[in-house]
Structure 1
């Protein structure tokens, strides 16, 4: 009997995903638990394991297909000893029957629908998702002119959007309509929720970082050369900031917390999210137990997590959770900024660029110093001004006297 391979739900909130890549081709033997495909969600690219063994008889969703709904049939597997052609026929019949049933139910629910195929019989109707039909109706698009990329040629949302995503002209020149990707939609929803529901307040400090820069230079100078003639490690300023923030959170645990409706959750572990810019938004992989790791461990972990984030290879446990976030725009020459809190966390730290300024020393003489602005955005339901100020004072002390980081 034909075995249907369905689009899996790779997270509790996943409703659809993109089929990024097939690792098996039609006719290949498949063992239970073997990786057969890669699925792209709004956060990462994840592997899909086969739950049964057999032969991959037919791939129903080709690699590169977008917005495939959870539960859709992506392939047909023939059982051991079963004829492949028979399995394909059985599988396709099951899919067609389910599609016809869905269309009948849809028509009963949407009496107001008026498209080009309104008067056709059920057997003659083209297959399209309800959302695709609604968009086509609103945009006056003929579904007969669209080739579907969904299961068995079904027309999905992205197919219709592709017909309305052409450049639009106005009297001031041309503009381009860019479809919203899954990750961009998630970012938009979370930030709107945060600004609307979380009472933000902001504090800012200025840190003198000359000693930190010298300390970093000394540590990096001690790095041995590897087989590729490159240093075994290269510590960044951001690595020190992660360490300093982690130690400060351990001393001020009220900042390492979140608002959860009728209770405040205070985290025992210090797990810090580090914002990483990717092509289509922002990812926040987590350095877990950062207060217990030395600066070399933090540096290596941040580099590996950033590499995974940019290639969308993060596992859910590497980006879900965390009690505090650091966002650093110093490399873009931004002097200072105020970040939006990442719910349900109660604080986010924003880091600006290192710059030279003239400052008076203890002898009232002007000297050139390197300084850095750091701001803290806080959820006032959880963190009070005094608590946030004490956290920033501890952070400033560690940054300006970096040798203390090995003593805390």
Structure 2
């Protein structure tokens, strides 16, 4: 049997590394084809990694919490005692050294992982202190109890820290470690300690994109109100109809997406991408919309949204939201958008400045409807950010005015 390398899948973001969230296996475990061996967080989704081969886990190349480069080897599966290729200098195992590499003659490969660990030199078996091996539940417990895992010696297989180790450390007095200096916590000018959250995964990608967007474009934001009375009244009637017929509910956000898609079809200058080689204007609307998953901000895209009826568009939006929150959006479902809508109305926000999702030239921000007094008309805040390199202010103002009109005539618009 030849060893099989299980690699990090394509992350869908130009080679951005994935974060290893959790191992489902340890060195020495037996796996079958299709078994989920690891869970990764990419820039756009949470991905389960399964093994294409059956056998024994010979080597784990990364620890939970590590960043693993796209297409790099995560783990190796093969036969007990089989030799594996050397790991890259910056990769380290999270649950012990390679079974094949540490196997000794005279049947040592048939011994249990615990026996093999006891018979091997400690430096070869223990993961570097910068890449601690710890079970997910033990890591969570340590965080809850404020236990420094850098000071814990693991009693699990190959030095893995388990729940019992955390509980013991929580009741024992702290002991200094000569080999594992604890990094000094971040402090404010007043001397108070603060926690440091690594910038990686989806947060890192979002930060890079927002920074690049603001640095590399000429963004201007226009604001205005649209009357929200027709929108709210129509959404209420659709809710009643859904309860009566059992049909899927169509909400305010669906109506806003529908109005934007239908309006953009008449404004190709705004439904465009900018580059110095030329401005690409589209006659179809691939409509992106922001979804807060609680872990990351994702932007699924509804293809040819201008040609969809209200019900079909709402169905596509709801399905994309469900997949986004389940961490199952495919990378190609978030690519190729020509315009984006970001709705913060549900969070009670009135006005905000949306940031362009480059190379798109426009993004619409929607706030919460509100009234100056109970009998006053409902006002819906709209904010349109545009790239002044691609379109002028008058064209952007015309688009925003037409979107407002479409919202105010939403029940009539849905009839066509």
CA distance change for structure 1 residues 28 and 207 in 2, over 3 Å: closer, same or farther? Answer: same
**Could you tell me which of 261, 272, 280 is aligned with 1:257?**
272
TM-score between both structures, scaled by the size of structure 1: 0.72
Unaligned runs of 5+ in 2: 93-122, 131-149, 160-179
Which residue number corresponds to residue 271 of structure 1? 286
Structure 1 residue 7: Cα displacement: 2.8
Which residue number corresponds to residue 295 of structure 1? 310
Which deviates the most, 18-27 or 35-44?
18-27
Which residue number corresponds to residue 76 of structure 2? 76
Structure 1 residue 242: Cα displacement: 0.3
CA distance change for structure 1 residues 250 and 381 in 2, over 3 Å: closer, same or farther? Answer: same
Q: Which has a greater percent of strand?
A: 1
CA distance change for structure 1 residues 10 and 203 in 2, over 3 Å: closer, same or farther? Answer: closer
**Could you tell me which of 95, 103, 107 is aligned with 2:86?**
95
Unaligned runs of 5+ in 1: 79-83, 103-122, 131-143, 154-160, 360-366
Partners of 2:399 and 2:381 in 1: CA distance = 15
Partners of 2:292 and 2:229 in 1: CA distance = 27
CA distance change for structure 1 residues 50 and 382 in 2, over 3 Å: closer, same or farther? Answer: same
Listed as ranges, the matches of 1:5-404 within 5 Å are: 5-11=6-12, 13-21=14-22, 26-30=29-33, 37-48=38-49, 50-51=51-52, 53-61=53-61, 64-78=64-78, 84-87=79-82, 90-91=83-84, 94-95=85-86, 99=89, 163-164=182-183, 166=185, 168=187, 170-171=189-190, 173-224=192-243, 232-357=247-372, 368-404=376-412
Structure 1 residue 351: Cα displacement: 0.8
Structure 1 residue 22: Cα displacement: 5.5
SS in 2 for 1:353: coil
Which residue number corresponds to residue 140 of structure 1? none
Number of equivalences: 344
Deviations 1:135-170 (A, max 9, x none): xxxxxxxxx98999xxx99xxxxxxx9954745365
TM-score between both structures, scaled by the size of structure 2: 0.71
Task: Give the conservation status (yes or no) of the 8 Å contact 1:19–1:61.
Answer: no
Task: Give the conservation status (yes or no) of the 8 Å contact 2:361–2:386.
Answer: yes
Task: Give the conservation status (yes or no) of the 8 Å contact 2:342–2:366.
Answer: yes
Partners of 1:182 and 1:77 in 2: CA distance = 26
Q: What CA RMSD, in Å, does the superposition of the two structures yield over aligned residues?
A: 3.8
Structure 1 residue 304: Cα displacement: 2.6
Deviations 1:270-329 (A, max 9, x none): 111111223344211112221222222222322232232233221101112201111111
